[in-house]
């Protein structure tokens, strides 16, 4: 059974985000692009824990680079829980969300993403993604 | 019902405070000791705790596991980590708290039975926000354990002392309002350290000074209570105890006093075994629904890297300076590229509105499509360079969801309308998130609906700020100020603008507003005290003998005080001139002192007060204006109004509470009281609810002023320059564009943009409109007055114009009456006449460049 946890464009968890697209310039001159997305599940009474050590291990959102050494480096992405936190966030670092996530709109986690790519050849780069560890979804 | 005795830990548990914590343990405390107990069967196992600093006068358990106490007027959060107890100050009590109750919605109710005041407290971390609630229906001097919450969330008060009472009241809560309804009266009065326990549909009243051995059990249906008295249920009786109810509805009476010839301190708790519940709790078996890897919860990132000339708009895939442009549109539904022939694409965006995309598709003949399945699917549109036959440099134009798929069965075409769902995005956002997004905006619950949904809340905030909210083609919410950037993002000249597309539209005078008159009424109470010095000397020692020889009497001290009180005044202090304590020659005889002289006096000096509450009404007349616009086009006026009334408990009860405290009839100080100053009417501010106090009134006025300023600027943005160019994806609502042609020179923010693509014809254009603020001329400055609320009135002291008079009918032929006349309270003081407070604020706007040369 597929998990009900997903990234959404809205805090009401009504529009699933399939992809996050950002525009950058070949000479690296484009302004960093800041985005807000919401991680959550609209299904009531569920909770999510790291499968390896439920309730103990911290759930993280990390930046996965499927083509390390080529494409865009993970350091082009910063993650934070607030807009203000982006400035001090470590490029490419994972974001900690606590030992469990609860479902429901009220418990959606607001995640701020900043994409600031260096000079690159023009093209579409799809080697990066935001990933979570393997989670268990159980009744809350 | 049978009550089982279980010993308490060592200590003098007379009048303890107790509550049942969220984890089921019982916390009990008094000045010298504290303990926590686990209920096991019909016994309690106690663990002594470190004594709290200062005696808690009230104690209540909170939903978050902590407890809240009142100690010497200070609220304190109490945390229990195992058996380690710690406290954190939570601020001053909102009123003299006689009872604390946890409401079903997690708020705290604080009750002052002496004034009937009720306050609701919302807890956030270590902070409590207090709001005044509807007052008690009657005075109640026998809290804290006579009030509680029924299983259905209603408040119930049973018995107590306002005179020994059998009254029962039910209170239904709605916000900060309590609708009180009387319930079936108790069969006999209970008061004096009794307790009530409350469970679903049941009230148990135990002990007290009257009927101390009784337990009265009531079954509740609506407002009807079926009472049954159990005689001698409590052996030896019990009063001045604490009481808690377990999760299973079992009653536990803790400490207090029992009667055995005299009242003695109890050393045990009485545990009810009625329910037979030994342990309470639910058993949960977690069911793992999915333990698969959440690889499908990953979010792919796509970073599109383009030449900076394209990002800045100097060129696009539809407009090249070095060669002919060959473009293609890429439409994706739910991530899959649409391979049908695309007839037309129109993407429209306007300030503070949703971006809309309309697409017409011509599917292959014979293809079958499940159209309803498209609704809600993600739709993206890009335009790309196709000069090599391969789509390159794809530039995003739209990202949203399909709102309305349609079909024309005659022509065999499909139509899709998609939206970026600006409204839906805002709907789900919290008010805090919207406030952060629309930074520097203003909000006041006195002006806007505090319970509005996210979209309405965003609209409310936008009405206070010269800025527009929209979603970018990539899906990011963004706020763009109306003021054009000093350096335009794009400059477009005649070489780019399509022939005949340039147009100018100027705002009608009737649509302009350059003055907004805001009327704001703020009505609130103040407490006042008139201070009088009243004195009368019937005789002094120089005329003492003659006074007696003339047959005069001396004043009775009791009669003096009765005369003052009969006039409605409260005695703060009185000093009597005593009769001589030595023998005085009076004519042929003597005045000989006696013990009865202590009840008489030759004169007196008293400080007295008249305490009352009066309503003040401020009428703020606020003018917000743009003078240079008025100079240019004359006055174009609008008006707005708002009002706020300070929430405060019943004023009559407030006056009564102050008077009773002054007269020392109660030791409970009123929440607010003016200091008595002789010869003055002295006013004092009262503690209003945070939603209606002076800070709230100022926020409301500042919000109205901000709305007025925004309206003025908005109305002056009615000038529009529009043009059409070859499709430039970079042109969007966040851009400042300069039009630089021989006829028109203008610079402003984009108000509206429409991209039109027709793959069939190869035509791709961008039509845009600039919003231009222009009234007094380019470079003209409109200085602004800061949006700070105008000053209101303040509590002050005014002189009393008339002194009281005293007459004493001292002669033997008179009635010995003492009459004291005080001047009536001035109408202006009592009624608080409306005070008009004028203020004016200059509104700013930034003039945009607009020069037309013909």
- B-chain residues near A16 (CB < 8 A): 378
Asked if A86 is an interface residue toward chain B (Cβ–Cβ < 8 A), one would say: no
Which range is most confident: B179-193, B200-214, B307-321, B743-757? B743-757
Asked if A69 is an interface residue toward chain B (Cβ–Cβ < 8 A), one would say: no
- B-chain residues near A100 (CB < 8 A): none
Which range is most confident: A31-35, A94-98, B120-124? A94-98
Instruction: Please say if the pLDDT value at position B714 is more than 90.
Output: yes
Would the CB atoms of B305 and A126 count as touching at under 8 Å?
no
| Per-residue model confidence (pLDDT) at position B777 | 81
| Per-residue model confidence (pLDDT) at position B636 | 96
Instruction: Please say if the pLDDT value at position B288 is more than 60.
Output: no
Q: Are B392 and B377 in contact (CB under 8 A)?
A: no
What is the nearest CA distance from B298 to chain A, expressed in angstroms?
4
| Per-residue model confidence (pLDDT) at position B839 | 97
The 10s digit of each residue's pLDDT in B555-567 is 999 999 999 988 8
| Per-residue model confidence (pLDDT) at position B280 | 31
Residues 380-409 of B with CB under 8 A from A: 380, 392-396, 399, 401
Distances in Å between the Cα of B738 and the Cα atoms of B173, B470, B769, B854 are 59, 21, 11, 18
Average pLDDT over residues B301-306: 86
Q: By percentage, how much of chain A surpasses pLDDT 90? A: 51
Q: Work out the pLDDT band at B299, boundaries 50, 70, 90.
A: confident
Average pLDDT over residues A109-120: 93
CA B835 – CA B826 distance, rounded (Å): 16
Residue, of B408 and B192, whose pLDDT is higher: B408
Instruction: Please say if the pLDDT value at position B96 is more than 90.
Output: no
- B-chain residues near A132 (CB < 8 A): 294, 297-298
Average pLDDT over residues A80-103: 94
CA B440 – CA B434 distance, rounded (Å): 11
Average pLDDT over residues B279-299: 44
Would the CB atoms of A126 and B302 count as touching at under 8 Å?
yes
Residues 642-681 of B with CB under 8 A from A: none
Q: What is the DSSP string of B311-373?
A: HHTS-BTTB-SSS---EEEEEEETTEEP-SEEEEEEEEEETTS--EEEEEEEPPTT----GGG
Would the CB atoms of B301 and A34 count as touching at under 8 Å?
no
Residue, of B552 and B779, whose pLDDT is higher: B552
Would the CB atoms of B306 and A23 count as touching at under 8 Å?
yes
Would the CB atoms of A9 and B298 count as touching at under 8 Å?
no
Average pLDDT over residues A111-138: 89
DSSP 8-state symbol, B678: B
The 10s digit of each residue's pLDDT in A11-62 is 888 888 888 989 888 888 888 999 999 999 998 888 888 888 888 999 999 9
The 10s digit of each residue's pLDDT in B766-819 is 999 999 998 888 778 899 999 999 999 988 898 988 889 999 999 988 888 999
Asked if A122 is an interface residue toward chain B (Cβ–Cβ < 8 A), one would say: yes
CA B183 – CA B508 distance, rounded (Å): 65
| Per-residue model confidence (pLDDT) at position B143 | 66
The 10s digit of each residue's pLDDT in B150-181 is 877 888 888 776 666 788 889 999 888 898 88
Which residues touch A31 (CB under 8 Å, ≥6 apart)? none
* Radius of gyration for chain B, computed over Cα atoms and rounded to the nearest angstrom: 39
Residue, of B586 and A2, whose pLDDT is higher: B586
What is the nearest CA distance from A139 to chain B, expressed in angstroms?
6
Instruction: Please say if the pLDDT value at position B378 is more than 50.
Output: yes
Which range is most confident: B668-672, B798-802, B822-826, B841-845? B841-845
- A-chain residues near B474 (CB < 8 A): 21-23, 33, 35
For residue B200, how many other CB atoms are within 10 A of its CB? 9
Q: Are B481 and B734 in contact (CB under 8 A)?
A: no
Q: Rounded to 5 degrees, what are φ and ψ at B702? A: -65, -35
| Per-residue model confidence (pLDDT) at position B281 | 32
Structure-token pair, residue B750: 């984009």
| Per-residue model confidence (pLDDT) at position B519 | 97
Which residues touch B774 (CB under 8 Å, ≥6 apart)? B716, B719, B847, B848, B850
CA B712 – CA B707 distance, rounded (Å): 9
CA B182 – CA B451 distance, rounded (Å): 31
Q: Which of A131, A66, A78, A17 shows the shortest CA–CA distance to B474?
A: A17
Distances in Å between the Cα of B24 and the Cα atoms of B48, B191, B249, B501 are 17, 28, 12, 76
CA A31 – CA B146 distance, rounded (Å): 65
- B-chain residues near A11 (CB < 8 A): 425, 428-430, 433, 454
Average pLDDT over residues B294-301: 69
Asked if B292 is an interface residue toward chain A (Cβ–Cβ < 8 A), one would say: yes
Q: Work out the pLDDT band at B568, boundaries 50, 70, 90.
A: confident
Instruction: Please say if the pLDDT value at position B207 is more than 70.
Output: yes
Would the CB atoms of A23 and B474 count as touching at under 8 Å?
yes
Structure-token pair, residue B300: 């792919």
| Per-residue model confidence (pLDDT) at position B248 | 66
Q: Are B31 and B296 in contact (CB under 8 A)?
A: no
Residue, of B438 and B206, whose pLDDT is higher: B438
Would the CB atoms of A64 and B476 count as touching at under 8 Å?
no
Show the DSSP H helices in B591-682 as ranges.
627-633, 651-662
Tell me which residue in B288, B304, B334 faces A124 most closely, judged by beta carbons.
Answer: B304
Residue, of B164 and B61, whose pLDDT is higher: B61
Instruction: Please say if the pLDDT value at position B54 is more than 80.
Output: no
Q: Of A43-57, B344-358, B406-420, where does mean pLDDT reach its minimum?
A: A43-57
Instruction: Please say if the pLDDT value at position B292 is more than 50.
Output: no
Instruction: Please say if the pLDDT value at position B756 is more than 90.
Output: yes
| Per-residue model confidence (pLDDT) at position B745 | 95
What is the nearest CA distance from B64 to chain A, expressed in angstroms?
17
CA B699 – CA B54 distance, rounded (Å): 39
Q: Quote the mean pLDDT of chain A.
A: 89
Would the CB atoms of A18 and B334 count as touching at under 8 Å?
yes
Residue, of B141 and B671, whose pLDDT is higher: B671
Q: Of B141-145, B437-441, B534-538, B792-796, where does mean pLDDT reach its minimum?
A: B141-145
- B-chain residues near A120 (CB < 8 A): 303, 305
Q: Work out the pLDDT band at A3, boundaries 50, 70, 90.
A: confident
Residue, of B816 and B341, whose pLDDT is higher: B816
What is the nearest CA distance from B662 to chain A, expressed in angstroms?
50
The 10s digit of each residue's pLDDT in B477-529 is 999 999 999 999 999 999 899 999 999 999 999 999 999 999 999 999 999 99
Average pLDDT over residues B574-583: 94
| Per-residue model confidence (pLDDT) at position B290 | 38
Q: Work out the pLDDT band at B239, boundaries 50, 70, 90.
A: confident
Q: Rounded to 5 degrees, what are φ and ψ at B691? A: -75, -15
Q: Quote the mean pLDDT of chain B.
A: 87
Q: Which of B560, B524, B828, B533 shows the shortest CA–CA distance to B698?
A: B524
Tell me which residue in B284, B308, B378 faces A26 most closely, judged by beta carbons.
Answer: B308
Tell me which residue in B286, B305, B436 faces A25 most closely, judged by beta carbons.
Answer: B305
> Residue A40's closest chain B neighbor by CA?
B297
> Residue A27's closest chain B neighbor by CA?
B308
The 10s digit of each residue's pLDDT in B381-408 is 999 988 888 888 889 999 999 999 999 9
Instruction: Please say if the pLDDT value at position B603 is more than 60.
Output: yes
Count chain A–chain B contacts defined by CB atoms under 8 A: 179
- B-chain residues near A135 (CB < 8 A): 294, 297
Asked if B500 is an interface residue toward chain A (Cβ–Cβ < 8 A), one would say: no
Asked if B435 is an interface residue toward chain A (Cβ–Cβ < 8 A), one would say: no
Would the CB atoms of A24 and B428 count as touching at under 8 Å?
no
Count of helices and strands (H, E) across chain A: 1, 12
| Per-residue model confidence (pLDDT) at position A11 | 87
Q: Rounded to 5 degrees, what are φ and ψ at B296? A: -80, 0
Q: Work out the pLDDT band at B295, boundaries 50, 70, 90.
A: very low
Would the CB atoms of B307 and A51 count as touching at under 8 Å?
no
Q: What is the ipTM of this complex?
A: 0.87
Asked if A136 is an interface residue toward chain B (Cβ–Cβ < 8 A), one would say: yes
Residues 34-63 of A with CB under 8 A from B: 34-37, 46, 51
Instruction: Please say if the pLDDT value at position B294 is more than 50.
Output: no
Q: Work out the pLDDT band at B279, boundaries 50, 70, 90.
A: very low
- Taking the whole predicted model, whether its pTM rises above 0.95 is answered as no
- A-chain residues near B393 (CB < 8 A): 122
Q: Which of B368, B354, B458 shows the shortest CA–CA distance to B401?
A: B354
């Amino acid at each position: 059974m597929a998990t009900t946890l997903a990234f959404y464009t809205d805090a009401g968890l009504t529009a699933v985000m399939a992809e996050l697209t950002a525009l950058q310039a070949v000479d690296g001159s484009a302004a960093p692009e800041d985005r807000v997305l919401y991680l959550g599940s609209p299904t009531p009474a569920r909770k999510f824990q790291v499968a390896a050590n439920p309730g103990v291990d911290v759930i993280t959102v990390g930046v996965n680079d499927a083509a390390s050494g080529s494409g865009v480096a993970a350091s082009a992405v910063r993650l934070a829980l607030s807009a203000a936190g982006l400035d001090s966030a470590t490029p490419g670092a994972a974001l900690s969300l606590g030992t469990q996530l609860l479902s429901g709109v009220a418990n959606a986690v607001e995640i701020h993403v900043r994409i600031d790519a260096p000079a690159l050849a023009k093209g579409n780069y799809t080697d990066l993604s935001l990933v979570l560890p393997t989670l268990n979804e159980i009744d809350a | 019902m049978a009550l089982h005795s279980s010993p308490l830990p060592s200590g003098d548990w007379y009048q303890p405070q107790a509550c049942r914590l969220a984890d089921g343990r019982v916390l009990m405390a008094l000045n010298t000791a504290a303990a926590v107990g686990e209920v096991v069967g019909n016994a309690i196992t106690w663990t002594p705790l470190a004594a709290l600093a200062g005696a808690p006068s009230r104690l209540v358990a909170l939903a978050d596991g902590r407890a809240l106490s009142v100690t010497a007027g200070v609220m304190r959060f109490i945390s229990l980590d195992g058996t380690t107890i710690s406290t954190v100050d939570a601020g001053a009590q909102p009123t003299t708290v006689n009872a604390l109750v946890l409401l079903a919605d997690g708020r705290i109710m604080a009750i002052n039975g002496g004034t009937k005041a009720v306050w609701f407290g919302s807890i956030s971390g270590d902070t409590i926000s207090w709001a005044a609630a509807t007052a008690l229906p009657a005075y109640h001097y026998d809290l804290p354990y006579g009030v509680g919450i029924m299983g259905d969330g209603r408040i119930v008060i049973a018995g107590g002392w306002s005179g020994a009472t059998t009254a029962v009241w039910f209170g239904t809560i709605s916000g900060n309002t309590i609708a009180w309804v009387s319930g079936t009266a108790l069969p006999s009065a209970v008061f004096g350290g009794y307790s009530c326990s409350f469970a679903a549909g049941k009230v148990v009243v135990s002990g007290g000074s009257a009927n101390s051995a009784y337990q009265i059990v009531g079954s509740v249906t609506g407002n009807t209570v079926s009472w049954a008295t159990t005689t001698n249920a409590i052996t030896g009786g019990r009063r001045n105890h604490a009481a808690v109810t377990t999760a299973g509805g079992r009653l536990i009476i803790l400490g207090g006093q029992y009667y055995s010839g005299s009242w003695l301190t109890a050393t045990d708790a009485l545990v009810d075994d009625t329910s037979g519940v030994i342990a309470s709790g639910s058993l949960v078996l977690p069911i793992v629904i999915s333990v698969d890897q959440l690889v499908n919860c990953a979010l792919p990132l796509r970073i599109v890297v383009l030449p900076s000339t394209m990002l800045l708009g100097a060129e696009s895939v539809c407009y090249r300076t070095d060669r002919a442009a060959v473009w293609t549109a890429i439409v994706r539904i739910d991530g899959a590229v649409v391979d049908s022939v695309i007839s037309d694409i129109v993407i429209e965006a306007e300030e503070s509105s949703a971006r809309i995309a309309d697409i017409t598709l011509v599917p292959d003949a014979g293809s079958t499509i499940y159209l309803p399945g498209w609704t809600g699917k993600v739709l993206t549109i890009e335009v790309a360079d196709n000069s090599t036959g391969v789509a390159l440099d794809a530039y995003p134009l739209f990202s949203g969801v399909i709102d309305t798929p349609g079909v024309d069965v005659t022509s065999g075409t499909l139509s899709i309308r998609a939206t970026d769902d600006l409204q839906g995005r805002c709907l789900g956002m919290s008010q805090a998130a919207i406030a952060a997004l629309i930074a520097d905006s203003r909000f006041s619950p006195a002006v806007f609906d505090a319970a509005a949904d996210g979209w309405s809340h965003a609209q409310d905030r936008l009405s206070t700020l010269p800025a527009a909210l929209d979603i970018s083609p990539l899906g990011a919410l963004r706020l763009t100020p109306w003021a054009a950037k000093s350096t335009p993002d794009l400059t477009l000249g005649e070489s780019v603008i399509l022939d005949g597309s340039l147009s100018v539209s100027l705002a009608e005078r009737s649509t302009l507003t350059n003055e907004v008159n805001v009327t704001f009424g703020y009505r609130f109470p103040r407490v006042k005290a008139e201070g009088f010095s009243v004195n009368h000397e019937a005789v002094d020692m120089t005329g003492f003998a003659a006074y007696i020889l003339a047959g005069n009497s001396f004043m009775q001290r009791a009669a003096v005080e009765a005369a003052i009180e009969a006039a409605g005044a409260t005695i703060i202090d009185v000093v009597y001139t005593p009769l001589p304590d030595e023998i005085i020659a009076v004519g042929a005889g003597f005045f000989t002192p006696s013990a009865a002289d202590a009840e008489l006096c030759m004169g007196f000096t008293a400080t007295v007060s008249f305490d009352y509450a009066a309503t003040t009404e401020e009428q703020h007349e606020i003018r917000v204006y743009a003078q240079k616009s008025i100079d240019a086009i004359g006055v174009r006026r609008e008006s707005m109004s708002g009002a706020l009334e300070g929430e405060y408990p019943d004023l009559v009860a407030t006056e009564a509470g102050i008077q009773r405290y002054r007269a020392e009839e109660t030791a409970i100080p009123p929440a607010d009281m003016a200091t008595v100053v002789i010869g003055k009417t002295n006013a004092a501010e009262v503690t209003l609810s945070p939603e209606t106090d002076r800070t709230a009134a100022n926020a409301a006025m500042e919000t109205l002023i901000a709305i007025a300023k925004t309206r003025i600027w908005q109305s002056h943005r009615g000038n529009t320059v529009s043009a059409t160019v070859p499709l430039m994806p970079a042109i969007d609502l966040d851009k400042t564009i300069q039009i630089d042609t021989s006829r028109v020179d203008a610079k402003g923010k984009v108000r509206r943009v429409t991209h039109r693509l027709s793959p069939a014809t190869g035509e791709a254009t961008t039509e845009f409109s600039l919003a231009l603020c222009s009234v007094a001329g380019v470079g003209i400055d409109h200085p602004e007055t800061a949006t700070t609320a105008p000053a209101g009135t303040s509590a002050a002291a005014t002189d009393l114009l008339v002194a009281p008079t005293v007459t004493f009918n001292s002669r033997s032929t008179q009635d010995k009456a003492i009459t004291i006349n005080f001047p009536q309270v001035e109408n202006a003081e009592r009624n608080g006449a409306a005070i008009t407070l004028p203020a004016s604020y200059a509104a700013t706007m930034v003039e945009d460049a607009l020069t037309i040369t013909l």
